[in-house]
Chain A
Amino acid sequence: MSDLKITGLHKHYGTYHAVKGIDLEVPSGEFTVLVGPSGCGKSTLLRTIAGLEEASAGTVEIGGKDVTWARPRDRDIAMVFQNYALYPYLNVYENIAFGLRARRVASAEVDRRVKRAADMLGISQLLERFPRELSGGQRQRVAIGRAIVRDALLFLFDEPLSNLDAQLRDDMRIEIKRLHQELGRTMIYVTHDQIEAMTLADRIALLRDGKIEQLGTPLDLFERPATRFVAGFLGSPKMNFLPATIEAGQVALRDGTRLTLPPGRSAPDGQAVLGLRPQHIAKAGASAAPGHVQTQSIIELVQPTGSRVQVSMPLGGISITAEFAAHEVTMPGEQVRIDIDMTRAVLIDPQTDKVI
């Protein structure tokens, strides 16, 4: 039985159609990430699941029960907010216990559960403190503590790490992943950050403009994107898109470069867009492996990022980015021979933006 099932969900704000017919089924224990650019409707979708917004059409089922019209507190959910939503006038202990007290749980039980949650998150020593005395990361843990203490069926996260600085975000990401493994609960997680999506999700729902563009495992979306949007959204640095024409098993770029499609890969003749990830463009070795093609270019820009280097160069009439290893140092103006892994290339129909 799926813990969450959404059917035909629509949400209007006056004339603005925020969610345009979403179907989603999340099996028990799965970590599903809703990701997409701003305004894609992911937060609206989450809030509708939570009951903080009323659906305009469609149904929401949690744990097999139709909760479309139920109050948030009757949906057996817990939620972690972006801004933590801690009560400044209560100490950490009371913040975590808030929901339990609202449901009239006995004090002894409250105490047991709060201490257990605090232990799990490593904040037991902060129980007497007040939110204003805590750091960002500590506050986030308290917010998570408040959610897990209720033992709900479904856990919702609304961009919980967006307010933390980069270093802290990495640490908290690991915490959340670990939490999911320990608790095994179904979790729905909203973020705009594709790295969080890739690292945390069992499955990703990439949203665009109120609809699910593609639903699948992180690897699915990364290796086999359904559309240009999906291909361009995931992966950093972004995938390169080169306008091209397919002629007889070869991809002809605007500047005349011809790249042979690997055996087993076929595509109809005609206009296409070639998608190449920077990680699949390397500095050429002695010879090309099967399915790889080599060609020339001149370095424009070099951006070191620690262990890798992002290198910009012209190809096919546009400026593309390749990712070399740090020791393969190149200078702007240098001629360079690159090796393109055509087995990982993606071909897109320019009319439909779908992947061929």
Chain B
Amino acid sequence: MAAIVHPDRNFKYWLISPAIFLLLLIGLFPLIFSLVVSFMRVTMLETDTSFAGFVNFVQLFRDGRLWQSLAHTVLIMVVALPIELLLGLAMAYLFLDRMPGRQILVSLLMLPTIISPIVAGATWRLLLDNRYGPINQIIGWFAGHPVPALWTVNPTLVYPAIIFCEIWQWTPFMFLILLAALSNVDRSLTEAAEIDGARFWRSFRYVVLPAIFPVMSVAILIRGLDLFRIFDIIWALTTGGPGTMTETISVYTYVQGFKQFETSYTAAIAFLVIALLTVVVTWAIRRMGLAK
């Protein structure tokens, strides 16, 4: 075959190179850099760049506060995600059929999702204020007497506060996606099921659910990962407090890196988190065929 090559052969590489370069900056560099730094002993007090072995990683396993933060994170994920999913699904069904002004109502429901999470957190901080916040006032109406609940300080109330705020902001996300997914289900399938005698739950489980499953999985993946990384809302409401009660993994990492300046240790955490997430996310992306 001739040694001459197609004249446009390199075009595709030119197109993609600036993006690849930048992506390597945030994709590969943090991974390698964290790994390297995690093998040193760099803290606020000393900058010892000699090889220190796995000392940071060992400390990781012994660090109770780290594992607690993971537990906190998982707690939030496990509570918020199902609620967002089910509530979003219910709302999607509610809005599925036409009704007057549906478009406007759906648009209004979108508002929580598009504001900044930090603003969402700040908003709820104001809402949940023990004296001047409307939430306590409303609860007081139902209870018959004033209820000055300290949502951002009381250990039993902090998690509900965080979770309410989180659900408030992100259920509309699920709702929108599921609404679109449900709208795209071919009507003839559910009608055939109805003729065959299937009632709602049967039809849902065997006809609707399989049809919306791919979209739902992507939404769950995105939301699940967002919940794992949750930071802004926590920061706005409790800053991880009281004490370290609501410290999630992101908050803990931030504190270690930017408050305690435990540079090498933070690098170790960062490395592990990136590495583990990469494995999980890559598996999920391939499994769902998102890259095709």
Contacts and interface: CB of A to CB of B under 8 A. Distances in A.
B1 interface: yes
Contacts of B2: 68-69
A69 B8 contact: no
B1 A54 contact: no
Nearest to B7: A71
A69 B1 contact: no
A57 interface: yes
B4 interface: yes
B259 interface: no
B1 A57 contact: yes
A54 to B, nearest CB: 6
Contacts of A69: 2, 4-7
Interface residues of A, number: 6
A68 B7 CA distance: 11
Contacts of B7: 69-71
A69 B6 CA distance: 5
Interface in A15-71: 54, 57, 68-71
A68 B4 CA distance: 10
A86 to B, nearest CB: 24
Contacts, number: 12
Nearest to B4: A69
Contacts of B6: 54, 69, 71
Contacts of A70: 7
Contacts of A71: 6-8
A71 B2 CA distance: 16
Contacts of A57: 1
Interface in B1-32: 1-2, 4-8
A57 B6 CA distance: 13
A69 B1 CA distance: 11
B1 to A, nearest CB: 6
A311 B256 CA distance: 89
A72 to B, nearest CB: 10
Contacts of B5: 69
Contacts of A54: 6
A19 to B, nearest CB: 15
A18 B63 CA distance: 61
A69 B4 CA distance: 7
Nearest to B8: A71
B7 to A, nearest CB: 6
A54 B7 CA distance: 11
A70 B5 CA distance: 9
A69 B8 CA distance: 10
A70 B2 CA distance: 13
Contacts of B8: 71
Nearest to A59: B2
Nearest to A69: B4
B292 to A, nearest CB: 16
A57 B4 CA distance: 12
Interface in A78-105: none
B272 to A, nearest CB: 39
A71 B1 CA distance: 18
The residue in A54, A57, A69, A71 that gathers the most chain B C-beta atoms within 10 A of its C-beta is A69
12 contacts: A54-B6, A57-B1, A68-B2, A69-B2, A69-B4, A69-B5, A69-B6, A69-B7, A70-B7, A71-B6, A71-B7, A71-B8
Interface of B: 1-2, 4-8
Given A57-B1, A71-B6, 10 more contacts: A54-B6, A68-B2, A69-B2, A69-B4, A69-B5, A69-B6, A69-B7, A70-B7, A71-B7, A71-B8
The 4 A-B residue pairs with the shortest CB-CB distance, nearest first, are A69-B4, A71-B7, A69-B6, A54-B6
